[in-house]
Amino acid sequence: MKSIFLNQKKNKNLILFFSGFACSFKMFEHLKYDEFDVLIIYNYTDNNADFLHFLKVYEGIYLLAFSMGVMIASKINFNINFIKKIAINGSLEGIGQKSIDKRIFKLSIKNFNLDEFLKAANYLEFKEFLNYDFKEELKNILALSKEKSYLKNYDKLILSDKEHIFKKLEKEDFYKQLQKISSYHYCFKDFKSWKEIIF
């Protein structure tokens, strides 16, 4: 896993954001930070969680997770009482009966096409910032999905009406509140700030 601060101004509160598969931090730079520091986790080609030491200095931490990041965040033993946990167009299970079928996911590893994925997910314009081994990332995500989950639920699920990668989200029960929005899988073009997503 790679991490980068989009904003590090010694604010009291941190937004810890787990992006999805095949994502770049560039995809989220347009969002206003307001009074938050923002730490983004991306590129899941390995499980190196060397960002954890950054979290100790904050009074409050909001966990946001997008797409496959919803499942990936659950595999880390944070031992933190998050102020709020928000899932965006992603499943806590990630890969399985309730989510993306394991057989289909394995076929995706074999036949992955970046252009097709980015078009379907609504962020083809960020292709130039994506230049790592996506098949390796998919393999690692599959391995991670079999690991123990420490996080059992999210406070809120933000679900786009044109979501098509995770098709069964509304039927799942890992979230306490559902917020429906008119958007696509990558829905961040429709937000102007991180605060807008949280509240």
The confidence score (pLDDT) of residue 171 equals 87
Taking only the tens place, the pLDDT of each residue in 77-105 is 999 999 999 999 999 999 998 899 999 99
The answer to whether 120 and 112 have CB atoms below 8 angstroms apart is no
Written as tens digits, the pLDDT of the chain (199 aa) is 999 999 999 999 999 999 999 999 999 999 999 999 999 999 999 999 999 999 999 999 999 999 999 999 999 999 999 999 999 999 999 999 889 999 999 999 999 999 999 999 999 999 999 999 999 999 999 999 999 999 999 999 999 999 999 988 998 999 999 999 999 999 999 999 999 999 9
Dihedral, 48, 49, 54, 59 alpha carbons, nearest 10: 180
Total-model pTM: 0.97
How far apart CA 96 and CA 5 sit, in angstroms, is 32
How does 49-68 read in b/e, with b if 16+ C-beta sit within 10 Å? eebeeeeeebeebbbbbbbb
Residue 95 bridge partners (DSSP)? 100
How does 78-117 read in b/e, with b if 16+ C-beta sit within 10 Å? beeebeebbbbbbbbbbbeebbbeeeebeebeeeeeeeeb
**DSSP one-letter code for 56:** G
